[in-house]
Structure 1
Amino acid sequence: MSTSPTPTPGLRERKKAQTRRTIQDHALRLFLAQGYQNTTVEEISAAAGVSHMTFFRHFPTKEAVVESDDYDPLIARLIQERPPHEDSLTALRNALGQGLETVYATGKDELLARTRLIFETPALRARTWDNQYATQRLFADALRSRNPDESDLATRVAAAAALATVTTALAAWVDSDGALDLPALADDAFKALRPA
């Protein structure tokens, strides 16, 4: 496990992060009230109190305001910190479980709304493959950093299987309108992937 402390972000980084959160919060509120297709970047910018140029400095597209989060780097770090004796799928399961617990505890409602938007909006759903491919590569790289001898194919297969497992749990969670417990669903999905 890494013992080096995470540097505290400076004032400028904190302001940028706050502006990003503000834009995302207002975008999500507008998408839920008006529908994704009926909401413009100009409306989001006005609601967030920023110019449309500021919007585009933080998000290259309207889709990105829904898709962007800090979850993938968090999970990649958690994968790298898993004990070396865990096989790749176990490391992924435990890192994803830990990450989901953190996100679920601090942003359950936002996660549910964003995930529902992605699953129910064709423009966002169509981009899911590209995003998952990038996430798969990130997770596979994190696995290889734990075990450099593991083949590229093996780490990619493990990462792809884990992502499919979590995506299926997320879909079941959205179908339940958030009534089911997401971390428990993800754990059950991993049990189905690899029965004891």
Structure 2
Amino acid sequence: MTRASRTHAALLRAALELFEERGYDATTAAAIAARAGVTEMTFFRHFASKDAVLVDDPYDPLIAEAVARQPVELAPLAAVIAGVREAWDAVPAPAVVEVRDRLRVVSRTPSLQGALARNSTGTAEAISSALRSRATPAAEARVAAAATIGALNAALLEWADGDDPDLGSAIEMALCVLTGGGP
């Protein structure tokens, strides 16, 4: 593990601890940095904002690439669903406890709903762009991307407040709802 990745992990751990102790709104970036033993400037080298600790998603490029690889004869929504499944199957299992902790803070903090929406806009745009690269009309691409992201966000926030240990089951449930009930 590199020094940068250790610092990143320490900042994430410190943020989650402080959000649990004080709440998201009462926790500052400076407090997170201090808890992690780094400067506030170092915090902002790793995260663009305090909310980025919780909502940044490293999977956007993987999903977009997987969507772009889908057969052109697939309808836009079917291509996105297949692309999400392919991307999910290709990534190493994330630290489920960390993901749940991050999403639980988001689900329980009304002030974070805007940050989630902004982050989701970037994900939807990456998916929409991948669909357009397959000659999908722009309006259809935006609708398919937005529907998928909306379903995934709802399922993941619901999962975060539940007891199911399987993150994949939340993703699969959202995709099954989009397909009308089946894989």
Query: What TM-score, normalized by structure 1, do the two folds share?
Result: 0.79
Q: Where does structure 2 lack aligned partners over 5 or more consecutive residues? A: none
Corresponding residue for 1:138? 126
Distance 1:73 1:29, change over 3 A: farther
Note the residue ranges of structure 1 that are not aligned, 5 or more in a row: 1-10
1:169 partner letter: A
| Mapped contact 1:30–1:44 kept (Cα < 8 A) | yes
Task: Tell me, yes or no, if structure 1 residue 95 matches structure 2 residue 83.
Answer: yes
* Contact 1:104–1:182 (Cα < 8 Å) also in 2: no
Confirm whether residue 155 of structure 1 aligns to residue 141 of structure 2: yes
Counterparts of residues 49-128 of structure 1 (less than 5 Å): 49-101=37-89, 105-128=93-116
TM-score w.r.t. length of structure 2: 0.83
SS at match of 2:129: helix
Q: How far apart, CA to CA, are the structure 2 residues paired with 1:154 and 1:141?
A: 11
Distance 2:46 2:141 in 1: 32
> Quick one: structure 1 residues 88 and 58, their matched pair in 2 at CA, closer, same or farther if it must change by over 3 Å?
same
Query: C-alpha distance in 1, partners of 2:128/2:139?
Result: 9
RMSD: 2.5
Ranges of 4+ aligned residues in structure 1 off by more than 6 Å? none
* 1:174 and 2:157 are equivalent in the alignment: no
The reply to whether residue 37 of structure 1 matches residue 37 of structure 2 is: no
1: CA distance between counterparts of 2:51 and 2:129? 26
Report which stretch shifted further, 38-47 or 112-121: 38-47
Share of identical aligned residues, percent? Answer: 35
Deviation for aligned residue 1:44: 1.1
Q: How many residues align?
A: 181
Is this contact kept in 2: 1:140–1:155, CA < 8 A?
yes
Q: Give the secondary-structure state (helix, strand or coil) at the position aligned to 1:105.
A: coil
Distance verdict in 2 for CA 1:25–1:95, change over 3 Å: farther
Amino acid at match of 2:109: T
Counterpart contact for 2:96–2:165, Cα < 8 Å: no
Letter in 2 for 1:136: A
Deviation at residue 81 of structure 1 after TM alignment: 3.2
